[in-house]
Every structure is written in structure tokens, then in C-alpha cells.
Amino acid sequence: MAERNGAAKKNANSDGKTGTSTAKELVIVTGISGAGKASALKTFEDLGYHAVDNLPLELLAGFAALVGKSSEIKRAAIVVDIREGSTLDRLPEILKSVRDILAIRVVFLDAQDSVLVRRYSETRRPHPLRKAETVERSIVEERQLLDPIRNVADTLIDTSNFNVHELRAHIESRFGQPGQERRLLVSCVSFGFKNGVPLDADTVFDVRFLPNPHFVPQFRKKTGLDPRVAGYIRKFPQTVEFLDKVTDMMLYLLPHYVAEGKSYLTVAFGCTGGQHRSVMMVEEMRRRLKKAGYKVKAIHRDMPRS
């Protein structure tokens, strides 16, 4: 997940330091079809938000004014997505005027193309565009149409490695009531640089400086989960030194993140293909941080599924 400093954060209604009310808030949920917008909206509703799906853009300003004046509606969440059609490109312009009414946060949900295709295959639902010959081409077209909205989003959430329950927990931790007890969740992600850096990485460590098991014949088709591969990587002194230094840094940083109210942190380790070195690093870091008392989740983005 990536956070951006949007105009909503400067709005007096959203900044507790201004001395004004922090109660009124409008969350606009948008993003790629299949990334989990329906599940996200349901979670917002369960959190006490007044939830509206597929609100026409021409009604957005009026709805924001209603939320701002209403004594009943404190927080609201709406979904605006590709179903809006040709008027969708007006959203950034409309947001500028709506932000003058109350605090706005735009949450953009995304996922890797391969994950989206699998989700459509599993649900057997057609893509909303329905114009392209394949789901893959529809996703490409949708990304192009949504790019201007993605650029003005305050929060980007990559749901590729989330199931429904994990997405719900993530949103609850980010948007729960002020004062609600939260616990920092650390996601350690392994990846291959050849496939790109994870969208939601907060911190990235490049471990390509370590000896590569790929060039050892007996290890090539294995992964960093294999004890023999992990042992091979760990036997080099630079591996242990690097792990110790990163562990020390994370144990220094994490309490400060908690103090700042951060509830979700993604730490990514990248090697060339995401099979050996990064996988071993993630498993070791998960073990070390868990031992220190933190809630840690290990994700191997590019490692073959068993």
C-alpha cells in the first residue's frame, strides 16, 4: 500500500491539528475491476460509513454537500469506477470542487494482471467493458482509462496477495474509528526485479549482491524455502551481516511507525527472479520480527505456486 499527500489532508475537516472537527469524511473507492472494490465498500459499511455503490458523477458534489450538512451521516464511502462510462475523466476536476466541501480521500485498488485474469476465470463474470476480445485486453484498456484517477489517488492498495479477509483487515486497520486499538502488520515480500518492484512496497532491499543459487545446478529448480538453498545463502558472511543490520534497523523503525499510528507496513526484498535469495531473506526476516513480538506475514510474489 502506498500513501500520498492529497489535498484532503490539508482540509480543515480532516486535520486534527487545525482545531476543527475530524468527524466528516468522504472516501471514494475506485480502481481496477476485480481488485476488490465491492469487498472494500462492504467493509467501510461495516465500519459505520454510509456506503453507496456506483454513484453517478453528476451527483457527487450534491452528495458531498449532503454529507457535510447532515447530522446523521458522519462518514461516507462511495464507489466510482469504469461503469461510469465516458464521464469518468471528469472525476479529477470534480474532486477539486468537492474537496472544498469536506475531507475527501481517494482509495485506488489495483492488482497484477495475472491475478485479475485468474479472479475473472474463477468467478466467470464478464469484464465491465465487454468490448475487447479477451479479459486481458479489457484490463489493458481499463488501466488506460483509469490512469488519470490513479494519479490523483491518496491511497493505493495492491490486493494481489490479499484474500477477502485480509483486505477487510487491512481496511479496518486503516480506516477504523480514532482511538481504536490497532496492531502493526508487517508484510515481508519477496520479488524478482525482472518482474518489477511491488506497487505497495514501503521499503525495498536489493539482495542481488549475494551469491546466486541459480548458478548452482542442484539448486536451480529449487527455491529459498528449501533448507539446503537457505543454508547455501546463509553460509556467506555478507548474508549474516546484512540480515543483522536490517534486523537492527527494522527493530529501531517499527516502534516509531507504531507511535505514528501506522498499521500496515510492506518490506520488500528483491533478487533477480524472486526464487532464491529474496525468498530466503523474507523467511528469515519473518522469523526474526515474529520473535521480537510483531505480527508478520510472508509473501512470495514471484515464487512458483505448489
Query: What DSSP line would sit under 24-86, residue for residue?
Result: -EEEEEEE-TTSSHHHHHHHHHHTT-EEEES--GGGHHHHHHHHHH-SS-SEEEEE--GGGGG
**Predicted pLDDT at 279:** 97
What torsion do the CA atoms of 107, 111, 113, 116 make, to the nearest 10 degrees? -100
Residues in CB range of 32: below 8 A, 6 or more apart: 109, 110, 111, 116, 139, 142, 143, 146
**CA-wise closest residue to 166 among 299, 286, 261, 288:** 299
pLDDT digit string, tens, across residues 212-267: 999 999 999 999 999 999 999 999 999 999 999 999 999 999 998 887 767 789 99
pLDDT digit string, tens, across residues 164-222: 888 888 888 788 765 444 568 899 999 999 999 998 899 999 999 999 999 999 999 99
pLDDT digit string, tens, across residues 108-130: 999 999 999 888 888 777 788 77
**CA-wise closest residue to 179 among 255, 261, 295, 74:** 261
**Predicted pLDDT at 1:** 52
Catalogue the E-assigned strands of the chain: 2-3, 25-31, 50-53, 75-79, 104-110, 155-158, 185-192, 203-206, 264-271, 295-300
Residue 96 pLDDT greater than 90, yes or no: no
CA distance 303 to 189: 11
pLDDT digit string, tens, across residues 24-41: 889 999 999 999 999 999
Contact by Cβ (8 Å): 194, 200: no
Choices 2.30.22.10, 3.30.420.40, 3.20.20.100, 3.40.50.300: CATH for 2-175: 3.40.50.300
pLDDT digit string, tens, across residues 44-93: 998 889 999 988 888 988 998 898 888 888 889 999 888 888 788 888 88
pLDDT range class, residue 20, cuts 50, 70, 90: very low
pLDDT range class, residue 6, cuts 50, 70, 90: very low
Contact by Cβ (8 Å): 58, 87: yes
What residues does each domain of the chain span? 2-175, 185-300
Residues in CB range of 127: below 8 A, 6 or more apart: 33, 34, 120, 135, 138, 139, 142
CB atoms within 10 A of CB 41: 21
> For 6, what's the count of Cα atoms within 13 Å in the CB-facing half-sphere?
26
Catalogue the E-assigned strands of 173-251: 185-192, 203-206
pLDDT range class, residue 303, cuts 50, 70, 90: confident
The pTM for the full model equals 0.56
Three-class DSSP category at 273: coil
